[in-house]
Amino acid sequence: MTSPRPLSSVPDQPARKTRWTDAELMAVQFPEPRWAVPGLLCEGLNLLAGAPKLGKSWLSLGIAADIANGDPALNSIEVERGPVLYCALEDTGRRLQRRRRQMLAHGGRPSAMLTLETASPTMSHGGEALLVDWLEENPHARLVIIDTFAKMRGSDPVSSSAYAADYAAAARFKTIADHYSVPFLLIHHVRKQGAEDFQSLVSGTNGLTGAVDATLVLERGRGQADGVLHITGRDVEETDYAMTFDARSGAWTLLDGPADDHLLNDTRSAINRFVREHPGTTPAVIADALDLKPTTVRQTCTRMAKAGQLHPAPGGTYHPPKPSDSADTPEVSQLSLCHSTDADQGGHQ
């Protein structure tokens, strides 16, 4: 950490209007939210969770460098250039340097707008002031990343319930993020046991996911994807991003098109794509168009419908899935598509 210096005090919440008549509310012109990465990271408090060694730190450091340079995030999404603070609290300067050198040796660029910090006090013992100090010095900041949340949250009050403690710990970061209208990203871990709802994978209680503005979960991918980023939040649409990972450069890259196309096995992916382009089609038409065995297509469509990947309609036709389809099949999460089966690989005629 840099040499000790006087730190700014945490600012009081500004007085703001909190009550309107209905007519007054409709007449207010609120500013649009600020995005670090459009469609991915919005102003407020964001939480990124994933299993150890899956690449969360590579992902967050890569996004930090992209924004600091004004380069497309994930090699795809245009961003506005600006200062970024990356707190790599589980790294030493040597490890962080090695990681950055690896990135720079394979197409990355250095940036004077990227601040790298490897130590910080917990939030209740000076961490809040450290963040405020940097934000005051960088009024056009685009993103603050805390890697990891556990290293900076500090101890919980003895009398607090687990839910209240998680909520209060996240709220400390959210207060600062909201005051400066800057996106914050907390890096966190997932539970060891699985869960149907990707938000339930996040380690801790619902107090944590309830306090943040958006939850992102990085899971190991299937098919063509090395990873899948599930996202839900107050200002972001619930969606999935399929990505590939380049171990040489440490770079995550967004794959084109819907995540389903990259997660399903080849047969399901082809059927899914055809039905999306030709809604209301039958297995016979699909089999003829894709040169697949009719029995394979019929059986696969049935399995996909049960998994919420297709929507069956009267007359034996199939449509793209409706948002409510997955709710009828709790054994399969809409965001964790089932693995392929041998029966799906029925082959060509």
Evaluate if residue 197 carries a pLDDT over 70. Answer: no
User: Can you tell me the distance from the alpha carbon of 61 to that of 85, in angstroms, rounded to the nearest whole number?
Assistant: 10
Percentage of the chain surpassing pLDDT 90? 54
User: Can you tell me the distance from the alpha carbon of 165 to that of 173, in angstroms, rounded to the nearest whole number?
Assistant: 13
User: Can you tell me the distance from the alpha carbon of 330 to that of 152, in angstroms, rounded to the nearest whole number?
Assistant: 36
**For residues 267 and 300, is the Cβ–Cβ distance under 8 A?**
yes
- Can you give the pLDDT at residue 93? 95
Average pLDDT, the chain: 84
Structure token pair of residue 331: 């054994």
* Higher pLDDT among residues 258 and 292, named by residue: 292
Pairing of strands 239-246, 183-189: unpaired
Mean pLDDT in residue range 309-319 = 92
In this prediction, residue 13 has a pLDDT band, given cuts at 50, 70 and 90, of low
The answer to which of 67-71, 183-187, 324-328 has the lowest mean pLDDT is 324-328
Mean pLDDT in residue range 249-260 = 85
Specify which of 5-19, 152-166, 175-189, 314-328 reaches the highest per-range mean pLDDT: 175-189
CA–CA distances in Å: residue 63 to residues 3, 71, 183, 272, 309: 27, 9, 12, 31, 31
Evaluate if residue 338 carries a pLDDT over 60. Answer: no
In this prediction, residue 203 has a pLDDT band, given cuts at 50, 70 and 90, of low
Q: What pLDDT digit, counting tens, does each position of 117-176 carry?
A: 999 999 989 999 999 999 999 999 999 999 989 999 888 777 678 889 899 999 999 999
Short-list 245, 247, 251, CA closest to 220? 245
pTM of the model: 0.73
In this prediction, residue 215 has a pLDDT band, given cuts at 50, 70 and 90, of very high
The answer to which of 2-6, 245-249, 255-259 has the lowest mean pLDDT is 2-6
- Can you give the pLDDT at residue 208? 86
Q: Which residue has the tokens 């102003």?
A: 43
The answer to which of 18-27, 35-44, 250-259, 331-340 has the lowest mean pLDDT is 331-340
- Can you give the pLDDT at residue 48? 95
Give the domains, in start order, of the chain with CATH numbers. 31-257 (3.40.50.300), 264-345 (1.10.10.10)
- Can you give the pLDDT at residue 194? 52
The four Cα atoms 30, 36, 42, 45 give a dihedral, to 10 degrees, of: -120
User: Can you tell me the distance from the alpha carbon of 16 to that of 187, in angstroms, rounded to the nearest whole number?
Assistant: 30
Mean pLDDT in residue range 62-72 = 97
Short-list 251, 216, 249, 206, CA closest to 44? 216
The answer to which of 122-131, 198-207, 242-251, 288-297 has the lowest mean pLDDT is 198-207
In this prediction, residue 43 has a pLDDT band, given cuts at 50, 70 and 90, of very high
The answer to which of 104-118, 230-244, 258-272 has the lowest mean pLDDT is 258-272
Beta-carbon contacts of residue 119 (< 8 Å; ≥ 6 apart): 1, 89
- Can you give the pLDDT at residue 42? 95
Evaluate if residue 267 carries a pLDDT over 60. Answer: yes
DSSP 4: P
